[in-house]
Amino acid sequence: MNARSNYMPGPAAGADVRKDGDKWTLVLVRDLRHPPAMVWEALTDPAQLSEWAPFDADRNLGNAGPVTLSTVGTPQVSESRVTRAEAPRLLEYSWGGNDMRWELEAAGSGTRLTLWHNIDRRYISWGAAGWHICFDVLEHLLAGEPMGRMVGPEVAKFEGWQRLQGEYAKQFG
């Protein structure tokens, strides 16, 4: 049995919502068992992003400048820009018109990963459930047990995503 066939996400946790004027931000925190430099590579290297993230990048995100991000399972292609890339601790860019900020902080031998994602209020629980699963898949990838990404319309059919989305919706009210 591979990791994917046995996979079921844990309960909704590590997510918060902040409102600033008309802007909503989903904040997700995950402790990973791997050092910041290794997590940084997974956040910036297109080959690794294609294993876990909900988009493909046409170049490494480790440097500021233009980048094209293609959302998996949809025709959405975003001309974007990496605005800050300070390896291995801070990465900022936009995706689909929404700002993303990744912060990596050494935590023992691992990394505390924090994602701030500006997102439409109507999709916050969907985003939280989606990123929760992406982070689980990322953790497997970093551990050398890739499961293949679970994103887009495909993941919405997955009962674990549906359960998580409901839990986050209840948590966020």
Return the domain boundaries, the chain.
15-172
- pLDDT tens-digit series, residues 77-128: 999 999 999 999 999 999 988 999 999 999 999 999 999 999 999 999 999 9
As a residue count, the chain comes to 173
pLDDT of residue 2: 64
Percent of the chain past pLDDT 70, that is, above it, reads 99
Averaged pLDDT for residues 128-147: 96
15-172 domain in CATH 3.30.530.20? yes
Predicted TM-score of the model (pTM): 0.94
Sign, Cα dihedral of 12, 123, 68, 103: negative
The mean of the pLDDT values for the chain is 94
* pLDDT value of residue 6: 85
Q: What digits encode the pLDDT tens for the residues 41-73?
A: 999 999 999 999 999 999 999 999 999 999 998
What DSSP string describes the chain?
--TTTT-----S-SEEEEEETTEEEEEEEEEESS-HHHHHHHHH-HHHHHHHSSEEESS-TTSSEEEEEEETTSS-EEEEEEEEEETTTEEEEEETTEEEEEEEEEETTEEEEEEEEE--GGGHHHHHHHHHHHHHHHHHHHTT-------HHHHHTSHHHHHHHHHHHHHH-
